[in-house]
Chain A
Amino acid sequence: MTSLPKPRGRLSDAVLLALRELPEQPVERIDAEPESDDDAAITLWTLHELHYRGFDEVDDRAEWEPELLRVRRRLEERLEAALRERWPGVPDGLDLQRDFFDWVADHDGPSIARHVHTAATRDQVLDLLRVRSVYHLKEADPTTWVVPRLPVGPKAALVELQFDEYGVGDPARLHAVLFAQGMEASGLRADYAAYVDEAPAEILEQNNALSMFGLQRRLRASALGHLAAFEATSSMPSRRMAQGLDRLGFPAEMAAYYTEHVEADAVHEQTALRDICVALVAEEPVLEADVWFGAWACLDLEDRTARRLLSGWGVAA
């Protein structure tokens, strides 16, 4: 059961009120500007959720309500503009297939996994699991939007990768379910979006960028670049997470989620790059810049989240 989040400012207030009043009250024009990044991020997260699982107290027709789509578009433009302003552009002289992994490795951002591995307290890890659950409980879903928008080669390769994410047809092995089992075993709530009110804007922006890349066909190649960077930064950090969880005495189910990702993502990073991104660019060369943009966005948004969480714990990033 998913409930609406708490508002974080004028705009989210207006949108949440409109959602609650549907279908009895038509949505009036909403012109409020977001008061803060938090206000913008929680509003966009809520509007995106209408395309996934919806909310108990909201009429399902809200998904295609024109005024809400207009607000969503305005917020997506704001998010994309902020990303593009920070983006240094396509890296000079690099070949996507040959240089991608080294480019990712050269990106030296703050690492939450390293902190969890050696130094984090139990409470810090509980904080982390709660806010990461906003994504992990719907892991892989945003990228599934992209499937029908691809030529056959990258499409088949993406479905092969997603099939593994979705547990090879076994619901008990679905990655989102492994995470939920870990949450429950750790004494946390495993229901969808249970902790969204605790998530800082940076976490919501990570989720929102993924949903935006997935939902907008124009940005399909960025969704896949994001996927390639995400997979390429997963195996070794997942190992550190699993060891950190063991160090702190977390239940085996929680570490198992991360252990699964060590080997799974060592495969996925290869196929996401070679069979999906490189294959797509071979067919549609104009999309290469978008692949790099999506990959960079993945690293940038994770850096911001890491800095936010680490500084909240009083750890130098």
Chain B
Amino acid sequence: MTRPATRPDVVMCPGGPMLLRGDHVVVDDDGVSHATTRPVSAVCRCGKSASKPWCDGTHKVLPPKLRP
């Protein structure tokens, strides 16, 4: 069997969030700290999420040129 590719810890999704694997503390625009709570977390990169710093899928309704 071939050796599986190494799994990334940080993934930039085209037009969408940044995925973070594992436990992290993310500091938002206002300096407030948010600890991750799940195996993989999605950090908003479009700035339009209502659950910042986490992605809530809002990027999908933005016109393509406003997506990250």
Contacts and interface: CB of A to CB of B under 8 A. Distances in A.
A269 B40 CA distance: 12
Contact of B16 (A153, A156, A262, A270): A270
A271 interface: yes
Contact of B17 (A105, A234, A270): A270
A266 B17 contact: yes
Interface residues of B, number: 25
B39 A163 contact: yes
A239 interface: yes
A153 B5 CA distance: 8
A266 B15 CA distance: 13
Nearest to A271: B40
A164 B51 contact: no
Interface in B3-34: 4-5, 7, 11, 13-17, 19
Interface residues of A, number: 24
Contacts of A264: 38
Contact of A236 (B13, B14, B61): B61
Contacts of B57: 234-236, 262, 265-266, 269
B4 A266 contact: no
A263 B50 CA distance: 10
Contacts of B40: 160, 164, 267, 271
Contacts of A235: 56-57
Contacts of B41: 263, 267
Interface of B: 1, 4-5, 7, 11, 13-17, 19, 38-42, 50-51, 54-58, 60-61
Given A236-B58, A236-B61, A239-B50, 20 more contacts: A101-B16, A105-B60, A152-B1, A152-B4, A156-B4, A160-B40, A164-B38, A164-B40, A234-B57, A236-B56, A236-B57, A236-B60, A262-B56, A263-B42, A266-B42, A266-B54, A267-B17, A267-B38, A267-B55, A274-B11
6 closest pairs, A vs B, by CB? A235-B57, A266-B55, A267-B42, A266-B57, A263-B54, A266-B42
